[in-house]
Amino acid sequence: MLRDIEPEVILFLSTLEEIRIETDTGDNLTILKDSTTTPEVAIVVEGNKHGSAFFTSDSFLVCNKRFNKPADIHHEKREGIEDREVSVAFPLNEGSAAGGKIFAYLPIRSDTGFPFLINADFILPSSREDIQDVPWNYWLMECVADLIACELLPLLKKRKILLNVRFLESFANRLNNLVYDPEDLFYAIYAKVREVLKNEALLPTNDNSFVSARDAVLTRSDAVRSLLTDIQLGMLLRPNVDGNATLKWLSAAITLDRTPSLRKYIMDSLEVEEVTPAMFARRLSEKFLSSQTDEWFIKFYKFLSDQPALWSSSGSVLRTKPILRLKDGTHVNPPQETSHPTAYFSVGPTTDASLSIVKWEISQDEGAYDFLKALGLQESDLVAEVVETVLPKYKQDFPTVSINDHLCDFAKIERAYKTDSREKIERLLKALRETPFILAEHANADSPIYLRPDQLYFGTDALRMYFEGNNLVSWVEIWKEQNDNLAYLQKCFRSDILGGPRGAFVNLDKYPPTARELFKDLEILDSVQIERKKADLQGNVTIMSQHGKHQRGVNGFDPNISVDGLKHALDNLTLEKSTFIWNHIAIPNADCIKGFIEKSTTQNYGNSRSDEHISDSLGQLLIDTAWLPDTDGNMHKPSEIALDDLPGSFKKDEKLAKKLDMPISQNQIIDLIAPAIGIPPDILTQIVKAPPETIEQIESLLQSSSESTFIDPSISQAASFPVNPVSNPERREKQILLELGKTPDKEYTEKLRSVRTSRNTIDPKTWLSTHYTNDDDQMVCQICQEEMPFKYRGGNYYFDAVEMLKEYFTKEYEAQFLALCPE
């Protein structure tokens, strides 16, 4: 019973501050009202029921207003009453369930559906279940409507967080049900609120302010909302209003998905326009477009890129609108067909053409350009413009193109390079490669120097280090100190008098980021330029091919290889340069250091002869120059230093070391000898480095082990080498290949050193003993072809079975072993 009491009743009892109820069973309920911060009123409810305590606290914004009774309003139960006070309370607590309640000082058993509480001196039936349908109650409801629209909503607006989209969605959900029922008791609220919202700034906007419905605009498109400002909205939707009408976008939170009731109420009851992309396109006029800035047109074109339905077909709405801004500020419609263009792309800000040219400041934006191109605009033969009027300025002996003018020229070049015509692109690239039009780095920014693409590098850290002291920067400073004739210097450099094939860095700081791709297509390099001929499929490099005179380099050897800046780098060595030359120039081009040139009088190289050659510009320089450092930084010629003695930054490359005739290191010697004598390389290394006393112990051990063998005096030193004639070499070859295919692969197990774990079914020593014993039962060494000098006491020959080229053969095949005498 206690919990069934409506605590909110105390809100509307002005003289009552506390309600206290106690029962015979010990249950109690206390309702307290705090009106000290009016219009905000707090209600505290606490009590005890069946031994369980409870406590709640709620706050409300309460509006009260007294209205004078009209003379035509009467009711027998209210005789002599000339005015009445009505109240509305808005719950402030999140998720409050108090909304929708209605009171006639005491609760009425019905729900209004509104997100607030209503109180008035309504005429009620004895059951208090509803409000009677009498003029007195209709008058009081008009008073309530006035209080809501004129007092409550402005009060909520003062507290911005309260007059929000969530509240209005709940409010609109009830108002929409009253639209078509003027006889409804609550219709007065619908009518009065609509009147006030239309004329008073009470609707939340996208910029966190408020606007009346007559000045509000709705849209579902974020792109449209960001494209049009308040003033632009007025120009678009109120073109005939004197002065600039200011309209405002309603809050972006008002959407069909999230607030369907509010959106319906705003559009149907408040008659607010919704701007869609299609509606926006239909409303566009030349007056509106003429008032917009170039920057707005760029945004406009980017917006249209995502709205192809508005312009893609010839019958689209925007094909009939003057949306193209020309160079002179006028506007024309887009072409209906691409074969009949109405405007062209500009080739530069100073283009003088009789054609209608889209304004340069707009079309140079990449997004705007892409849209205009998709719309059907064409270049006015931009490639011809660049080749015939732009590039010739740079071919003069003393070009005087300023950096600013050059950047405008370069923008034209980039635009021309975007043409769809492959033929035009090839023509443009050919002209660009032949023209010194690219700005080079140098110290005097007021006197630009322009070079051809094939004279330039990208300024990477590695290239700056390699070319240090050998680029245009150095030449400029030297010449300026001598005669200050920068123009003459530029002419000399452009004529290849200075430097090598390339001698400067492109000044990328002056160009837009997109320039790098064009420069790459023009073959500006980010690595040292190396000119060498490519080998054919057989690895041969054609050097000469004339009637009766043919020459080719074998195994990729090109004796005429050329490396840009190599001599200068070798003459001005640093450790970094030496490392760079070894790792990035010498190793990749080791085939061209020295090699064989095959010469013949016939094209098929019959009866040819071969001679070894060293290339002049690579091999001779690298072999004759002291450019390889030891670990102390001292430079040596390749013939003076072993591969293992180079610093750790040098990649280990045996092939290059051989090409440079570098001496064999102790480690390499050990690696060669160890397999032949049957001692692992790591053990042999320890023996070589062992102290004298250890060597003496090893010699003593070897002498004691030699007692197990003896020299048979009956052995003749002149033995015949065993011969196994092959009657059918082809069949023998097939048989060997068959046997080789059946043999197992070599297998190794990772231990402290590599130990082979696989073996063939035939022991190599048994196989060698069988095949290299002659008819006189003499076993012969395969190298010296003499009889083995030692035998075991059992009569078997002592010999070493040495596996050859095991790093190249991966099969366990006994024929890969040699029978060698210990000598």
Query: Using an 8 Å Cβ cutoff, are 117 and 103 in contact?
Result: yes
d(CA 55, CA 78): 39
pLDDT at 33 over 70: yes
Lowest mean pLDDT among 690-699, 723-732, 742-751: 742-751
pLDDT score recorded for residue 379: 73
pLDDT, tens only, 605-633: 888 899 999 999 999 999 999 999 998 98
pLDDT, tens only, 545-568: 988 899 999 999 999 999 999 999
pLDDT score recorded for residue 670: 76
**For residue 751, what pLDDT band results from cuts at 50, 70 and 90?**
very low
SS (H, E, C) 495-523: CCCCCCCCCEEECHHHCCCCHHHHHHHCC
Lowest mean pLDDT among 384-388, 403-407, 440-444, 709-713: 709-713
d(CA 816, CA 735): 15
Residue 388 backbone class (left: φ over 0; alpha: ψ -120 to 50; beta: rest): alpha
**From the CB of residue 697, how many other CB atoms can be counted at a distance below 10 Å?**
11
**From the CB of residue 725, how many other CB atoms can be counted at a distance below 10 Å?**
4
pLDDT, tens only, 178-195: 999 999 999 999 999 999
pLDDT score recorded for residue 398: 75
Q: Which two tokens stand for residue 246?
A: 């200011």
- In percent, how much of the chain has pLDDT > 70? 82
d(CA 530, CA 564): 6
Residue 433 backbone class (left: φ over 0; alpha: ψ -120 to 50; beta: rest): alpha
In degrees rounded to 5, what are phi and psi of residue 262?
Answer: -65, -45
Q: What angle do CA 750, 755, 758 make, to 5 degrees?
A: 100
* Largest Cα–Cα separation, the chain: 160
The conformation of residue 193, written as its DSSP 8-state character, comes to: H
pLDDT at 117 over 80: yes
d(CA 36, CA 179): 39
| 775 residue type, one letter | D
d(CA 428, CA 433): 9
d(CA 161, CA 164): 6
pLDDT score recorded for residue 499: 41
Q: Who wins on pLDDT, 26 or 275?
A: 275
In degrees rounded to 5, what are phi and psi of residue 440?
Answer: -100, 155
- Kindly write down the DSSP assignment for every residue of 27-66, as one continuous string: -EEEEEEEEEETTEEEEEEEEEETTEEEEEEEEEEEEEEE
Using only C-alpha atoms, the chain has a radius of gyration, in whole angstroms, of 50
Pairing of strands 52-68, 40-49: antiparallel
d(CA 168, CA 445): 64
In degrees rounded to 5, what are phi and psi of residue 450?
Answer: -110, 135
The conformation of residue 549, written as its DSSP 8-state character, comes to: E
pLDDT score recorded for residue 754: 46
Using alpha carbons, select from 349, 507, 363, 366 the residue that is nearest to residue 437.
Answer: 507
d(CA 774, CA 785): 11
d(CA 753, CA 775): 42
**Gap between the terminal Cα atoms of the chain:** 121
d(CA 717, CA 601): 50
Strands (E), 507-593: 530-531, 541-546, 549-553, 562-563
pLDDT at 636 over 90: yes
pTM for this predicted structure:
0.51
Strands (E), 577-734: 594-600, 609-614, 628-629, 635-636, 709-710
Residue 383 backbone class (left: φ over 0; alpha: ψ -120 to 50; beta: rest): alpha
pLDDT, tens only, 599-608: 998 988 888 8
Query: Using an 8 Å Cβ cutoff, are 512 and 563 in contact?
Result: no
Distances from the Cα of 183 to the Cαs of 135, 175, 178, 190, 282, in angstroms? 12, 14, 9, 12, 41
d(CA 235, CA 286): 11
pLDDT, the chain, mean: 85
pLDDT at 213 over 50: yes
Strands (E), 577-659: 594-600, 609-614, 628-629, 635-636
pLDDT score recorded for residue 603: 87
**For residue 725, what pLDDT band results from cuts at 50, 70 and 90?**
low
Which helix (H) or strand (E) segment holds residue 227: the answer is: helix 222-227
* Interacting residues of 671 by C-beta distance below 8 A, sequence separation 6+: 681
**How many residues are recorded in the chain?**
823
Distances from the Cα of 758 to the Cαs of 370, 642, 813, in angstroms? 67, 35, 11
d(CA 299, CA 288): 15
d(CA 660, CA 650): 15
The conformation of residue 269, written as its DSSP 8-state character, comes to: I
d(CA 26, CA 241): 73
pLDDT score recorded for residue 785: 86
pLDDT at 756 over 90: no
pLDDT at 755 over 50: no
Using alpha carbons, select from 373, 358, 475 the residue that is nearest to residue 419.
Answer: 373
